[in-house]
């Protein structure tokens, strides 16, 4: 069994890295597990603990949907929190509406569903996770820090491949190991 997910790898640019560094500094006294810059990604489907045979099925399903679906770009901008500021769980950077991303997500989700995978039922909200909140002492500081960037453009991201990752949980943080790469061209 391996813990797997399907994602787009994002190479953080200077603006995104500066914002992440600023948030870490502004919220340094809070209990937040920050995502390492090398692990920045946009999750398309989280499949969780999956046996080897089903990993092969996922690989084939995603590979077939990606082949020839075409490269596209999206804009990474804005910040926010999941759940809400009274009970925050995740700090995120947002993705501007992108038909290419929505189409790709629909293709992959349908293929995985048809292949027998149980996917999350909540609507697709494209974002990148910046930090997972364990405990907040000063919710005002959190609100102020995150809202500082809620209308900021960080970078444009060109997407030309989808990656099937294994997530290996370690005390120092997760290690993401690519199990398959699928070209969109």
> DSSP characters for 97-153?
--HHHHHHHHHHHHHHHHTT-----SPP--EEEEEEEEE-S-HHHHHHHHHTTTT-E
Instruction: State how far the Cα of 85 lies from the Cα of 64, in Å rounded to an integer.
Output: 40
Which residues carry out catalysis?
41, 127
Burial 96-125 (b: 16+ CB within 10 A, else e): eebeebeebbebbbebbeeeebeeeeeeee
Residue 92 and residue 130 in contact, taking contact as beta carbons nearer than 8 Å? yes
Give the whole-angstrom CA distance, residue 52 versus residue 106.
24
- Residue 62's SS3 state is helix
């Amino acid at each position: 069994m391996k813990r797997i997910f399907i994602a787009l790898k994002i190479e953080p640019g200077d603006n995104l890295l500066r914002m992440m560094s600023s948030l870490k500094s502004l919220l340094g006294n809070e209990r937040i597990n920050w995502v390492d810059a090398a692990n920045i990604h946009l999750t398309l489907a989280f499949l969780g603990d999956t046996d080897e045979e089903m990993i092969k099925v996922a690989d084939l399903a995603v590979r077939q949907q990606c082949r020839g679906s075409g490269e596209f770009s999206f804009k990474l901008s804005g910040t926010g929190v999941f759940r809400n500021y009274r009970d925050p769980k995740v700090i995120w950077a947002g993705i501007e509406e992108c038909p290419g991303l929505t189409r790709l997500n629909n293709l992959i989700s349908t293929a995985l569903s048809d292949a027998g995978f149980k996917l999350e039922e909540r609507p697709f909200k494209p974002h990148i996770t910046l930090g997972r909140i364990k405990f907040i002492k000063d919710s005002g500081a959190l609100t102020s820090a995150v809202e500082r960037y809620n209308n900021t453009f960080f970078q444009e991201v060109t997407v030309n491949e989808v990656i099937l990752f294994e997530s290996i949980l370690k005390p120092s943080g997760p290690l993401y190991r690519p199990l398959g790469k699928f070209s969109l061209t």
